[in-house]
Amino acid sequence: MNKTKKLLIDITFSLLYKRGYCATSITDIQKESKITKGAIYYHFKSKNDLILSSIKYYLEELYENLWFAPLRDTSDPLDTILKQISTLCEHFSSKNHYLNVENGSPLGVFIADMSDKDEVIAQYLRDVTFRLTEAMCGALNGITVGDFNAKTESKFIVSSIEGAMVCAKAYNSIESLCDSLQLTSCYVKQITQK
């Protein structure tokens, strides 16, 4: 990817994550990047093409590193789930990571903000949610105990994690996020312990 395209993706993601779809215009992206509209449209055929490219770039990187790869490559699914929940709290706590409490979950923010704006974007966001739930289900499959169902539990755990980020945004509180994620970890331990 060339520097101009990457700059546009970075700026677009930042603006979308902070402001949302309707409050992010091509003019805003152009002003922030100091790249002409003609150059923007040279790299992306429309605003929605740029937005989709931007959210794909960041969500794929985030979820691949945070969930998909660790859950796919683990020999200890329970330990990996707990470690990744803790890592999520660390990302939000770090000043050096783009995730922040003020903006919440990028996936949750984008689903709430963009699902009714563009069907291709909405389908991509549903796909990420589905893949995240499936990755969690694959990790839980065979380690849940009692009457717990890995598929149902994975939906609940993903909802709990995403919901914790939404509540942290509402309260503007890293403590709220970490407390909620700690409770989610306790729940995961409960459904996987004999």
52 vs 26: CA distance, rounded Å: 14
Does the residue 147 lie in any domain?
A: yes
Residue 145, token pair as written in the block: 């105990």
Phi, psi dihedrals of residue 139, rounded to the nearest 5°: -70, -40
Residue 13 is predicted with a pLDDT of: 96
* Cβ neighbour number for residue 102 with a 10 Å cutoff: 9
Does the residue 45 lie in any domain?
A: no
Range of 182's domain?
55-192
Does the residue 3 lie in any domain?
A: no
Residue 97 is predicted with a pLDDT of: 85
Residue 34, token pair as written in the block: 């100091």
What CATH number has the domain bearing residue 181?
1.10.357.10
Does the residue 125 lie in any domain?
A: yes
Q: Which residues of the chain have pLDDT under 50?
A: 194
Residue 149 is predicted with a pLDDT of: 87
Digit-coded pLDDT (tens) for 28-44: 999 999 999 999 999 99
154 vs 46: CA distance, rounded Å: 36
Does the residue 105 lie in any domain?
A: yes
Domains held by the chain: number: 1
Q: Which of 62, 97, 68 is nearest to 81 (CA)?
A: 68
Does the residue 183 lie in any domain?
A: yes
Q: Which of 84, 83, 88, 90 is nearest to 107 (CA)?
A: 88
The percent of residues in the chain predicted with pLDDT above 70, rounded, is 99
> Over the chain, what HEC string results?
CCHHHHHHHHHHHHHHHHHCCCCCCHHHHHHHHCCCHHHHHHHCCCHHHHHHHHHHHHHHHHHHHHHHHHHHCCCCHHHHHHHHHHHHHHHHHCCCCCCCCCCCCHHHHHHHHHCCCCHHHHHHHHHHHHHHHHHHHHHHCCCCCCCCCHHHHHHHHHHHHHHHHHHHHHHCCHHHHHHHHHHHHHHHHHHHCC
Does the residue 39 lie in any domain?
A: no
Does the residue 44 lie in any domain?
A: no
Residue indicated by tokens 């100091």: 34
